[in-house]
Amino acid sequence: MKSISLLPPEIRLQRQARVRRAKNIKLGGMLFLALLIIYTGVGLSTLYARSRVVSLHNQRALLEMEMAGFREYIAMENRINKLEGLVKKATDNSPDWVSMLVSINRNIPPGVWLTDFRGVSGSGSKKNEPGKRGSAASAKTSDSKETSGQTAKPSGVQGEVVIRGLTSDHSALAEWLDKINKSGLSDARLQSAGRETGGETPLINFEITAGIQSQPPPAKAEGGGGQ
């Protein structure tokens, strides 16, 4: 059946307007609710992010406070590393003085006594020996000729040693001089020798110079001790 409204047109238009207004209100409410949900989610996310940032800042401040206690040890480690580098740089080209002294002392024959031992690493070692000229002035003529014949160091020499001492036997001194050339040293020479007065047994005051080899041959040192 078809319904026929007997209401005036003005009332029908008012009803239709109320229905449209109610629909618009519902749509506006739904849209507002959706915007409110979105805004609430964004706000909560922002608050969470801010709380994380604050937490990270607090952790960083705590770590910096803990690291402040280790700065002294870090600085100490840096100083130690620097000193180790300096020591390594200084000792890389230095001779093995301990092994050299042990080898020389092992080969000293009876009747020979050491009074002085000086060693200089590097090339300009002769400049650091002011007492050599004075002792050479009192040397014998044959030893002075031998000294004047020495001009330059052999190649592969790291430095020079000066050995002074006393002996009562020329042959023992000559034998020991030969052993010195086989104990990590090279071009060992008797620079001066003179008699020392006093005492029942006459003693000879001697001075020996030798170059320090870059790589001393240990096998020859053992062979020299058997002579």
**Tens digits of residue pLDDT in 61-77:** 988 888 887 888 888 88
Q: Please list the alpha-helical segments (H only) found in 149-202.
A: 170-180
Tokens of 57: 């800042």
Asked if the model's pLDDT at residue 52 lies above 90, the reply is yes
Q: In what order do the strands lie in the sheet with 157-167?
A: 112-121, 157-167, 203-213, 185-196
Widest CA span in the chain: 165
pLDDT for the residue numbered 91 = 65
Residue type, 174: A
Bridge partners, 164 (sequence order): 116, 207
Q: Which tokens in the block code for residue 126?
A: 């002769």
pLDDT value for 30: 94
Residue 164 pLDDT greater than 50, yes or no: yes
pLDDT in tens, 83-121: 988 877 766 666 777 777 887 777 788 888 888 888 776
Question: Does 134 score more than 50 pLDDT?
Answer: no
pTM comes to: 0.42
pLDDT digits 0-9 by tens, 13-29? 888 888 899 999 999 99
Query: To the nearest whole percent, how much of the chain has pLDDT over 70?
Result: 66
pLDDT of res. 224: 41
Buried b (16+ CB within 10 A) or exposed e, 130-150: eebeebbeebeeebeeebeee
pLDDT over 60 at 128, yes or no: no
Question: Token match 């409110």: residue?
Answer: 36
Query: According to the model, what pLDDT value does residue 139 have?
Result: 37
Phi, psi of 195 (to 5 degrees): -75, 145
Query: Rounded to an integer, what distance in angstroms lies between the CA atom of residue 182 and that of residue 220?
Result: 5
Region 125-135: what's the mean pLDDT? 41
Average of per-residue pLDDT values in the chain: 74
